Copies of this chain bind each other. A is one copy, B any other.
């Protein structure tokens, strides 16, 4: 049975008697669920007895002029999908329930990791992620929390948050789920016109091409890497995108300083296609 709660108090009361002998997983979402989210719920069920899915379009993580108002809200359809996949609890609070005082005076900031990549063009985005994830962790007090790897930087920031604030929570990153043509699933894909949607998989293809070049050992130095990145950006822009950033970093998002020996890198990209800002990434182990 899937039960929906809108209040913090009622969710806590429902979870309280379960804590002693059940493992609880949290899957935080902004709703408008697609197969990417559903895969996270399935992953959660493998790691826990009880799965809580939060659905909350969090205003504090949207910047001025961003798509807070137009972000798709589809609670009824989301609920049907979560019933089908047998999630136990849906937590769908109002903005007032989450933020009785808005903006909340207390802030949870991630430091330099939140200023790079997506943080450059969305300077307050991860501040909003920090507070909402902290609140959801404190409301649900889960044993396990599942986040998608599509939001790679978000996952890295939450790893840091769990370590720095001593949350007793196991974090699990769920793999990116893609359409058949390779486009990473995202609620924001809905902003694409038909023509843009047809071109969108080129982003993933370009990242794959770059991954192949890195795996073949062509990034022998900072300069060589930078030149490969620039080739890749040019190729993506030529397909009608406007690249916001494309970077290759260590998987904890620190800059690469070692080019020899075994390396665990990640290619991270954000690019505009029409009204949609698309994210993609790929881990590359060399």
Residues of A within 8 A of B (CB): 8, 12, 19-20, 98, 100-101, 104-113, 130-131, 134-135, 138-139, 141, 160-161, 163-168
Contacts and interface: CB of A to CB of B under 8 A. Distances in A.
A100 B163 contact: yes
Given A19-B20, A20-B20, A138 B109 contact: no
Contacts of A104: 164
Contacts of A20: 19-20
Contact of A108 (B113, B165, B168): B165
A105 B110 contact: yes
Given A105-B160, A134-B166, 9 more contacts: A101-B163, A105-B112, A106-B111, A106-B160, A106-B164, A108-B165, A131-B164, A138-B166, A139-B166
A108 B106 contact: yes
A109 B111 contact: no
Q: Which residue of A98, A161, A168 has the most chain B CB atoms within 10 A of its CB atom? A: A168
Nearest to A165: B134
A71 B107 CA distance: 29
B135 A165 contact: yes
B110 A109 contact: no
Nearest to A21: B20
Contact of A113 (B105, B111, B138): B105
10 contacts: A19-B19, A101-B163, A105-B110, A106-B110, A106-B160, A108-B109, A135-B165, A138-B166, A138-B168, A139-B168
Contacts of A134: 165-166
Nearest to A98: B166
Q: Which residue of A8, A104, A110, A113 has the most chain B CB atoms within 10 A of its CB atom? A: A104
A112 B98 CA distance: 21
Contacts of A108: 106-109, 165
A139 to B, nearest CB: 5
